[in-house]
Amino acid sequence: MTKTVTSPYDVAEHLRTPEEMAAYLEACLEEADGDAAFVAKALGDIARARGMSEVASHAGLSRESLYKALSGERNPTLGTVLRVLDALGLKLRAEPAVVSEAAGHAAPSPR
């Protein structure tokens, strides 16, 4: 029987266009369920795809601090997230959540 050889999957190798990067971030935002570190990790994947040094320079951060902020082990500040999004050429958008008619409160959007 032959052994199957595997290699680690790196999503950054597959994020080639701004549209792919935006779609990936949008999917991660939907799946994050309030986990800021998960979103930070997704931004880190996109930054690695674009080039961490270039993103750090455009965001006004050191490469090392950018790696730390987007490692997925920390919750970066909103200011850092906005600077990174700007450096990546991405926008953060908001849309209304689904409103529960019975309660009159916003409910989580259906998955």
Tens of pLDDT, residue by residue over 45-79, are 999 999 999 999 999 999 999 999 999 898 899 99
In the chain the domains, ranked by start, together with CATH numbers, are 14-90 (1.10.260)
pLDDT(38) > 80: yes
The SS3 call for residue 107 is strand
Q: What is the mean pLDDT of the chain?
A: 89
Residue-level pLDDT at 98: 79
Taking alpha carbons only, the member of 47, 51, 61 closest to residue 90 is 47
Handedness of CA 60, 80, 27, 97 (dihedral sign): negative
Nearest-Å Rg of the Cα atoms of the chain is 17
- Cα–Cα distance for residue pair 95/28, rounded to 1 Å: 16
User: Could you tell me the pTM of the whole model?
Assistant: 0.81
Handedness of CA 67, 70, 71, 76 (dihedral sign): positive
- Cα–Cα distance for residue pair 14/8, rounded to 1 Å: 13
Residue-level pLDDT at 1: 80
